[in-house]
Amino acid sequence: MPSTHLKQRAANVFQDVCGYPATTFVQAPGRVNLIGEHTDYNDGFVMPCAIDYQAVIACAKRDDGVIRLISVDYDHIQDSFVVNQEIKPTEDKLWANYMRGVVHFLKEKGYSLGGADIAITGNVPLGSGLSSSAALEVVTGQAMKALYELDVTQSDLALIGQASEHNFAGCKCGIMDQMISACGEKGHALLLDCRSLETKSVHIPEGVSIMIVNSNVTHSLVDGAYNALREQCEEASRLLGKVALRDATLAELGASSIKKGSDVYKRAHHVISENERTVACADALIAGDLQKVGEYMYASHASMRDDFEITVPEIDYIVEVLTEALGNKGGARMTGGGFGGCCVALMPTEMVPQVQAAIEAKYQAKTGIKESIYICTPQNGAGVI
Residues labelled catalytic: 177
How would DSSP label each residue in 150-196? ----HHHHHHHHHHHIIIII-----SHHHHHHHH--TTEEEEEETTT
Whether the CB-CB separation of 369 and 216 falls below 8 Å is answered with: yes
| Cα distances (Å, whole numbers) of residue 121 to 30, 70, 77 | 13, 9, 12
How would DSSP label each residue in 2-32? -HHHHHHHHHHHHHHHHSS--SEEEEEEEEE
Q: Pick the piece of the chain touching ligand GLA (CB under 6 A) from 92-100, 170-178, 320-328, 344-352.
A: 170-178
If the CB atoms of residues 129 and 294 are measured against ligand GLA, the closer one turns out to be 129
If the CB atoms of residues 56 and 158 are measured against ligand GLA, the closer one turns out to be 158
Which 112-151 residues touch ligand GLA, going by CB under 6 A?
131
| Helix boundaries (H) for 222-289 | 225-239, 250-255, 263-286
Whether the CB-CB separation of 215 and 338 falls below 8 Å is answered with: no
- Candidates 14, 25, 41, 98; binder of ligand GLA (CB under 6 A) is 41
Query: In whole angstroms, how close is the CB of 303 to ligand GLA at the nearest point?
Result: 12
d(CA 89, CA 77) in angstroms, rounded, equals 16
If the CB atoms of residues 127 and 378 are measured against ligand GLA, the closer one turns out to be 127
Query: In whole angstroms, how close is the CB of 33 to ligand GLA at the nearest point?
Result: 6
- Candidates 177, 185, 307, 371; binder of ligand GLA (CB under 6 A) is 177
Query: In whole angstroms, how close is the CB of 73 to ligand GLA at the nearest point?
Result: 21
If the CB atoms of residues 117 and 177 are measured against ligand GLA, the closer one turns out to be 177
Decide if residue 176 touches ligand GLA (CB under 6 A).
yes
Decide if residue 173 touches ligand GLA (CB under 6 A).
yes
d(CA 250, CA 243) in angstroms, rounded, equals 16
> Beta 383-384 vs 342-348: how paired, if at all?
unpaired
Whether the CB-CB separation of 14 and 119 falls below 8 Å is answered with: yes
Instruction: Give me the 197-236 binding string for ligand GLA, x by CB under 6 A, dash otherwise.
Output: ------------------------x---------------
- Candidates 38, 145, 188, 266; binder of ligand GLA (CB under 6 A) is 38
Q: Pick the piece of the chain touching ligand GLA (CB under 6 A) from 32-40, 59-67, 181-189, 349-357.
A: 32-40
- Candidates 26, 37, 285, 296; binder of ligand GLA (CB under 6 A) is 37
Q: Pick the piece of the chain touching ligand GLA (CB under 6 A) from 37-45, 239-247, 281-289, 324-332.
A: 37-45
Q: Which residues of 152-166 are buried (b: 16+ CB within 10 A; e: fewer)?
A: bebbbbbbbbbbbbe
- Candidates 127, 184, 331, 336; binder of ligand GLA (CB under 6 A) is 336
**With contacts defined by CB under 6 A, how many residues of the chain interact with ligand GLA?**
12
How would DSSP label each residue in 69-122? EEETTTTT-EEEEETTS-----SS-HHHHHHHHHHHHHHHTT----EEEEEEEE
Query: In whole angstroms, how close is the CB of 385 to ligand GLA at the nearest point?
Result: 24
Query: In whole angstroms, how close is the CB of 173 to ligand GLA at the nearest point?
Result: 3
For residue 25, what are the β-bridge partners? Answer: 58
If the CB atoms of residues 38 and 269 are measured against ligand GLA, the closer one turns out to be 38
Kindly list the residues in this chain that would bind ligand GLA in the complex (CB under 6 A).
Answer: 37-38, 40-41, 131, 173-174, 176-177, 221, 336-337
